[in-house]
Structure 1
Amino acid sequence: MPLSHQDQLYIMADILNNHHIDCTGTLSECQQIQRLASALQQNADVAPEIKEVLRQIEEYSTAGAHETDLLIHIETHRPNLSQWVDTINHYQ
């Protein structure tokens, strides 16, 4: 059974929240966030108001997947992470 867009948003928010709270993450998490953000941007059931945030999240995760020091990348984006999670939670 495929994940609904609501499930995908929940997973994405959970990972991003962990990045924000723990200030740590993995390459595979960045890749998963990237895939989710890309899929959600193409999904017509996702509120148009969240599409820009999904684009920003995709950029964050794409860059994070190529960072030599992922922890610095996460720390740099920490303010954005909490805003993104709040936005996702609002539209779930």
Structure 2
Amino acid sequence: MPISQQDQLNLLKDILSNHQTDCCGSVSECEQLERLVKSLLMNPTIDSQAKAVLEEIYYYSQSGVNATHLDNHIELHQNELSSWVNDINQYT
């Protein structure tokens, strides 16, 4: 049974918040971000502004999966993580 759009956004926000707070994460979390974003982008009710934010998060997660030092990657994106969490809060 698929999870609702609201639950997907909440999960996305939780993972991003953890990355922001802890300054660390795992490849599996980045892969989960990718799956969530792909699913949300397929939803026709997502507006264009939200899609732009989701595409940025997707790029961040792809880069994280391929990063040699994931924690450094997360630290370099602290400002974006904060911004994305705030943006998602507006959609939830």
TM-score by length of 1: 0.96
Q: Alpha carbon RMSD of aligned pairs, Å? A: 0.8
- Hey, what does 1:53 align to over in structure 2? 53
How many residue pairs align between the two structures? 92
- Which residue number in structure 1 is paired with residue 64 of structure 2? 64
Query: Judging changes above 3 Å, is the alpha-carbon distance between structure 1 residues 47 and 6 closer, same or farther for their aligned structure 2 residues?
Result: farther
**Structure 2 equivalent of residue 7 of structure 1:** 7
Is 2:56 aligned against 1:42?
Answer: no
Question: Cα deviation per residue 1:5-29 (whole Å; 9 max; x = unaligned)?
Answer: 1110100000000000110100000
- Percent identity (aligned): 47
The question of whether the paired residues in 2 share the 8 Å contact of 1:16 and 1:85 is answered with: yes
How far apart, CA to CA, are the structure 1 residues paired with 2:89 and 2:49? 13
Residue 91 in structure 1 maps to residue 60 in structure 2: no
Contact 1:5 1:45 survives alignment (8 Å)? no
| Runs of 4+ residues over 6 Å off in structure 1 | none
| 1:29 pairs with 2:29 | yes
Give the superposition deviation at 1:45: 2.3
Residue type at the aligned position of 1:35: R
1:48 CA drift (Å): 2.8
Segments of 5+ residues of structure 2 without an aligned counterpart are none
Distance 1:66 1:52 in 2: 22
